Amino acid sequence: MNIIDGKAVSAEVKAKIREEIERDKLEVGLAVIIVGNDQASRVYVNNKKKACEVCGIKSYEYALPEDTTEQELLELVNTLNNDGKVNGILCQLPLPKHLNEERVIESISPLKDVDAFHAVNVGKIMIGNYAFLPCTPAGVMELIHSTGTEVSGKECVVIGRSNIVGKPMAMLLLHENATVTICHSRTKNLAEVCRRADILVSAVGRADFVTADMVKDGAVVIDVGMNRNAENKLCGDVKYDEVAPKCSYITPVPGGVGPMTIAMLMKNTLMAKKLQSNA
């Protein structure tokens, strides 16, 4: 069993980004909007700012009060859409309840939508003609590639069907010629389906959900979950100690997929800069 070190792979990705920005003397900017004072969101935003620093990307933070109106938020997005210094716009989710997330995401220019949540970018991923990829699935693909595992022809199972991870994850595996099954809460014989997987990606958000009887010997297991267990310790979807001995490769939580999500956001921001320079 080999542990896939997300910190090491993400550090390589960020180093390459910095190298390219310095070599080509690029000015790259990412605007991050955070509304309200959700503690988890604040941690994520701070981590994104640190990653920008490492990569040589300028970060612009817009911290708005909890009671910001939708109109005010949409006006800010519009201003950033028209700001040449800003190549990527990210609105940290979840937003306070009174704001319509879908409307806010759709107001971001598809050319600056570095989360790849805009319907235009989602559609492009579907047909395989994309510039940006959602950061977490893109990070998962990088981790799989880092193991030297050939995706083509493999049986892949994705547990979870969210728009942010599950669905785009399945598309990326499909684009690399895998045979993909998406499982969810209504899937019958879940353990049996998962046991077929050469590559198993769990993005279900339930602690210790994936047990050893669900994993094929020698499988590559990628754990996207970020949960707290009964002892309030950070853990993934996979019952790690039980599952790890069966795997050829497995990601830990923390230190697996998490660092990759932010590294891919940096990669998307650099890509946005290039697209806008050619537009």
**Same-domain pairing of 160 and 205:** yes
Catalytic residue among 112, 113, 115, 267: 115
Locate 57 and state its tokens: 């990307």
d(CA 125, CA 118): 11
Locate 225 and state its tokens: 């979950």
Flag whether 81 is in a domain: yes
> In the predicted model, what is the mean pLDDT of residues 16-41?
96
Flag whether 9 is in a domain: no
What's the chain's Rg over C-alpha atoms?
19
Average pLDDT, the chain: 96
Flag whether 154 is in a domain: yes
Q: What DSSP letter does each residue of 71-94 carry, written as one string?
A: HHHHHHHHHHHT-TT--EEEEPSS
**Could you list the residue range(s) of the whole structural domain that residue 80 is in?**
24-111
> In the predicted model, what is the mean pLDDT of residues 100-110?
97
d(CA 57, CA 22): 10
- Are 88 and 114 contacting, i.e. CB atoms less than 8 angstroms apart? yes
**Same-domain pairing of 173 and 94:** no
d(CA 222, CA 252): 8
Active site residue 92: yes
**Same-domain pairing of 152 and 246:** yes
Q: Please state the φ and ψ torsions of residue 102, each to the nearest 5 degrees.
A: -60, -45
**Same-domain pairing of 215 and 139:** yes
Model confidence at 278, pLDDT cuts 50, 70, 90, reads confident
d(CA 221, CA 246): 10
**Same-domain pairing of 99 and 146:** no
Active site residue 48: yes
What percentage of the chain exceeds 90 in pLDDT?
Answer: 94
Catalytic residue among 92, 154, 216, 239: 92
Structural domains of the chain, count = 2
**Same-domain pairing of 158 and 54:** no
**Same-domain pairing of 52 and 99:** yes
pTM given for the model: 0.94
